[in-house]
Amino acid sequence: MYFDVVVAGGSVAGLLCAREIASKGFSVLVIEEDYEIGTPEHCGGLVSIAGLEELGIIPFRKTFEHMIDSAEITSPNGNSFTINSKNQKVVEISRRELDKQIAFQAQKNGAVIKVRTSFQEITDTGIRTNEEKIDCKILVDARGVSSLIHKDRTGILSSAQYEIYSNWIKKGKVEVIFDQEKFPGFFAWIIPSGEGKGKVGVAGRGINVAETLDKILEERKNFSVIRKIFAPIWIKGPIDNFVEGKIVIVGDAAGQAKPTTAGGIFTSGMGGVYAGQAISKFLETNDKTVLEEYQRKWMHRFGKEFEKQSLARKILERIDNNTINKLFESITPEITKEISEKDDFDFHTGSIIKLLGVKGSLKTAQTLIGGELKKLLS
């Protein structure tokens, strides 16, 4: 069997890559090891309307859940502030349905999709799956964080996310909880899917995420768990090389999820689009140098933002609960108003700078983070 390109992994980045290649008339096979496209759904499902439009997706009714109106951010001592997110036009979508929608686009363009089919190894002429050998010119690795586990474990955090029914989940309201003792290096979150239902998750370095999440839920009381997902997340930014010989790496496998939140529908999706465009040029010209355009294009678009997000992550990992509490005390209504009205969901380093007190009078964080803060501002 022969295909010009085989894509290993049927998630957003891999499917968008397949869509782009198939649109140019080349043969593409997408193999997904799970039994269903869109499963397991371990993503929070937040994305901007502008991001979806640039990816070429107008959400189906089943895909689009609802708009997010606000985000409440809570400190270890329980103080909180709220960001009004209406201007940022952030939506909560069903990742299960979004992936299927992109798969439909790819298939309409001519791509072939097979589930319960896993990549096994590279061969001289292509790849071998659990079922057969397939000849191809290019393999696209879109297998997610699992591809990074053997490369650098320091960039990986354990995470858990449960689908919950409970009356304390409010439609349109995201919650983020910081506590460096309970969730060191990350945070807990609540993302609504509607009134009384949503996703509750946690990630952190060196913690038992299942036990930690169970404790969060026990404190809140009155809930039912409908589904449990455990999956690693990557927080270290892009890998060094997106192209390795005849292998092109996209999405989470290329480290294209945000270092601050590990979210990546838009950034990983654009990785798939740029990769698909570059692969199509290669198939037209047989010039391997055109594949390098993919990484250059992605880095030009997102590299500086990811570099600053990585610096912000280092800063946040260094501060303790006492400092976080002091930071929250310094956040003024003017700061939250400015973030609400002007900032961008997909490029959010500006929000982090404001929240660290750079535009306020707080000296604690500025003294603590010194040189890194200067880099963040540059």
| Residue carrying the six token digits 């455990």 | 230
Q: Specify the pLDDT at position 334.
A: 84
* Backbone conformation region of residue 52, classed left if phi is above 0, alpha if psi is from -120 to 50, else beta: alpha
For position 287, what pLDDT does the model report?
Answer: 94
pLDDT at 254: 97
pLDDT tens digits for range 282-322: 999 999 999 999 999 999 999 999 998 888 888 878 888 98
Q: What are phi and psi of 149, to 5 degrees?
A: -60, -40
Say if residue 190 is in the same domain as residue 227.
yes
Q: Which domain holds residue 187?
A: 154-234
Instruction: Provide the CATH number for the domain around residue 143.
Output: 3.50.50.60
* Consecutive H or E run containing 22: helix 12-23
Cα dihedral sign, 41-169-207-349: positive
Last residue of a domain, one of 259, 284, 301: 301
Pairing of strands 173-177, 70-74: parallel
pLDDT attached to residue 279: 98
pLDDT digits 0-9 by tens, 198-252: 999 999 999 999 999 999 999 999 999 999 999 999 999 999 999 999 999 999 9
Which amino acid is residue 350, in one-letter code?
G
CB atoms within 10 A of CB 304: 13
CATH code for position 186: 3.30.9.10
Q: How confident is the model at residue 359 (pLDDT cuts 50, 70, 90)?
A: very low
Q: Is residue 86 part of a domain?
A: no
Count Cβ atoms within 10 A of the Cβ of residue 54 and give its class: 0-12 exposed, 13-18 middle, 19 or more buried: middle
Contact criterion met (CB below 8 Å) for 140 and 279: yes
Task: State pLDDT tens for residues 241-279.
Answer: 999 999 999 999 999 999 989 999 999 999 999 999 999
Rounded to whole angstroms, the Cα distance separating 179 from 75 reads: 7
Report the pLDDT averaged over residues 102-116: 97
Q: In this structure, are residues 267 and 257 in contact, taking their beta carbons and an 8 Å threshold?
A: yes
Tokens of 346: 């997909």
Total domains in the chain come to: 3
- Judge whether 6 and 140 are in contact, CB under 8 Å: yes
- Supply angle C-alpha 45, 48, 49, rounded to 5: 115
Strand order in the sheet with 90-93: 46-48, 90-93, 64-67
The whole-number pLDDT of residue 366 equals 53
Distance CA(318)–CA(330), nearest Å, equals 18
159 and 146 share a domain?
Answer: no
Token pair belonging to 42: 């371990």
pLDDT of amino acid 125 = 96
Dihedral sign (CA 344, 350, 353, 354): negative
Q: State yes or no: pLDDT of 368 exceeds 70.
A: no
Give mean pLDDT, residues 61-69. Answer: 81
Instruction: Give the pLDDT confidence score for residue 372 in this predicted structure.
Output: 47
Claim to verify: residue 322 and residue 270 sit in the same structural domain: no
Neighbours of 285 (CB within 10 A): 10
Whether residue 40 has pLDDT greater than 90: no
Q: CA 212 from chain center: how many Å?
A: 22
Do 56 and 113 fall into the same domain?
A: yes
What was the pLDDT predicted at 275?
98
Same-domain pairing of 148 and 208: no
- Please indicate, yes or no, whether residues 108 and 252 belong to a single structural domain of this protein: yes
Q: Are residues 178 and 227 in the same domain?
A: yes
Residue 51 lies in a domain: yes
**What's the whole-number mean pLDDT along residues 180-194?**
93
Q: Which residue has the higher pLDDT, 138 or 307?
A: 138
pLDDT at position 78 is 94
Do 52 and 124 sit in the same domain of this protein? yes
Q: Which helix (H) or strand (E) holds 226?
A: strand 224-234
Q: What is the pLDDT of residue 149?
A: 79
Q: Is residue 142 part of a domain?
A: yes
Q: Give the confidence band of 184 by pLDDT, cuts at 50, 70, 90.
A: very high
- The answer to whether residue 81 sits within a structural domain is no
177 pLDDT exceeds 80? yes
**Together in a domain, 33 and 138:** yes
- Is residue 124 domain-shared with residue 223, that is, in the same domain? no
Q: What is the mean pLDDT of the chain?
A: 89
Could you tell me if 312 and 227 lie in one domain?
no
Mark whether 217 and 129 lie in a shared domain. no
For residue 73, tell me if it sits in a domain.
no
**Domain limit, last residue, from 256, 275, 301:** 301
Residue 278: inside a domain: yes
